[in-house]
Amino acid sequence: MSLERTAIPWNEITAEAVRHLQALICIPTVNPPGNEKPAAEYLAEVLSAEGYDPEVLESAPGRGNVIARYRGSGEAPPLLLLSHLDVVPVEPEKWEHDPFGGEVVDGHVWGRGALDMKFATAMQLMAMLLLARQRLPLKRDVIFAATADEEAGGRYGIGYLIDHHLEKIRAGYALTEFGGFPISLGGKRIYLCQVAEKGICWVRMRARGTPGHGSVPHRDNAVVKLAEAVAKLGRTALPFHRTDAVAGMVEGMAAALGGVRGAVLRGVLNPALSGFILRRVIRDPQLVNYFHALLHNTVSPTVLRAGSKTNVIPSEAEAELDGRILPGQDLD
């Protein structure tokens, strides 16, 4: 039996998935501190109502993970549907809509986690609900796991489950977030399949100087040194690197576009032409930044820290840098 052979009201299913996504967005799970347990309990309640026996596993106070299993025959290894419930911090005053309101505006759901990654949690939840409703006979179990703490490394989420409850999530395959965002290019919608990922190189940069009173400026100011270093970093273009994964992606996109547009797009793989094509031909800021990041190692200053009083020149100033490394590159 398959979903295709059974009458399913897909419009109603879509609306139901959206409602679950809205409900999840309305449960703040900003990490730190996380506090994913209420979201895990919401999912457990929904799954229980459909006949599942979900478990909410608390890795630390407030840090909830929820697991449920659809039983197959066991002829094939299980499939794990894996998502995370925590989200990164947000500046609400900079949003057009409440980041924890889950509003639907112009056909889009707004909120922190709408993309990363409560949308996938809602999709995977609906898959589990449909399996139960259709009572599909499968050769494998399907495991649902919505976890804590992914945004901070996973210690209280998937790491905790692996260390303490491995048999509950052990699977032959796993489906998790993203896999490639669809993008619009040259009037066409192109769907991507992720085959590689940049590595992380987080760096702390520290400047030291002579402390003193703010009323008596001097040239050995740690804050000024750090500011100059951060500004220089922001102006510096890191070298172009062509990788097999990105080359394959661009070639596929160029083939989809065809003609002159496809030929021009292939030019972004040429270090002598890439910058010109991005700035003068593609021009869309989001696409320019997107392709630039695919073709370069990157670094973004994200946190600045210095001093504790307005009238005191500190002896140290510190910046945190988010470095991302292309496949095939190393920390050196």
**Which helix or strand (DSSP H or E) is residue 13 part of?**
helix 10-25
Pick the catalytic residue from 36, 141, 150, 151.
150
Instruction: Say if CB 175 and CB 98 are below 8 A apart.
Output: no
Mark whether 197 is an active-site residue.
Answer: no
Residue among 166, 199, 206, 181 at smallest CA distance from 322 = 199
**Which of the following is catalytic: 36, 86, 141, 151?**
86
Query: Across 152-214, where does the E strand assignment appear?
Result: 173-175, 183-185, 188-190, 199-208, 212-213
- Tell which residue, 147, 138, 130, has the closest CA to residue 43: 147
Catalytic residue at 86?
yes
Percentage helix, strand, coil for the chain under 3-state DSSP, each rounded to 5? 40, 25, 40
Instruction: Transcribe 283-310 into DSSP letters.
Output: --HHHHHHHHHHHB-EEEEEEEEE-SST
Q: How many residues does the chain have?
A: 332
Q: State the catalytic residues.
A: 86, 150
